[in-house]
Amino acid sequence: MVRISKPKTFQAYLDDCHRRYSCAHCRAHLANHDDLISKSFQGSQGRAYLFNSVVNVGCGPAEERVLLTGLHAVADIHCENCKTTLGWKYKKKRRPRGARYLAYSHTTG
Ligand SMILES: [Zn+2]
């Protein structure tokens, strides 16, 4: 179990606590609103959502990749239901604000 020690920054949105994020293609559930860390992260394909945990995703092989925030070990993640690529996952500790997963434009809320 990984303990997230930094304060969460999205508490202003928690009143909408039943909201879920899902695959834009097949609507499979991907994450709870509670697991959303940031909606304003910039990924290589535009704005990305940053999640603490996700479900229903598969993971490709890890690789070193230069992102806007520096060199990271990441692995692409895809929807396990329809295989749409959703974003990527950080493999090491150097990740923004304790986050583990990024999913970009193929995710809808
Ligand atoms: Zn899908």
Model pLDDT for residues 34-93, shown as the tens digit of each residue: 888 888 777 666 778 888 888 888 989 988 888 777 788 888 899 988 999 888 888 765
Cα of 88 vs centre of ligand 1, distance in Å, is 15
**pLDDT tier at 6, thresholds 50, 70, 90:** very low
The one-letter amino acid at 81: N
| 40 in a structural domain | yes
Cα of 24 vs centre of ligand 1, distance in Å, is 7
Cα of 27 vs centre of ligand 1, distance in Å, is 6
Cα of 84 vs centre of ligand 1, distance in Å, is 6
Q: What is the pTM of this model?
A: 0.66
| 31 in a structural domain | yes
Cα of 54 vs centre of ligand 1, distance in Å, is 13
| 11 in a structural domain | no
| 10 in a structural domain | no
| 96 in a structural domain | yes
| 1 in a structural domain | no
Whichever domain contains 66, its CATH number is 2.170.150.20
The tokens for 94 are: 């150097």
Between residues 87 and 15, which one has the greater pLDDT? Answer: 87
Judge contact between 89 and 5, C-beta under 8 A: no
| 13 in a structural domain | no
| 65 in a structural domain | yes
Cβ burial 31-57 (10 Å sphere, 16+ → b, else e): bbbbbbbbeebebeeeebbbbbebebb
Q: What's the domain count of the chain?
A: 1
**Domain that includes residue 54, residue range:** 20-108
Cα of 5 vs centre of ligand 1, distance in Å, is 31
Q: What is the pLDDT of residue 96?
A: 53
Output helix, strand, coil percentages for the chain, rounded to the nearest 5: 10, 50, 40
Query: Residues 34-43: pLDDT tens digits?
Result: 888 888 777 6
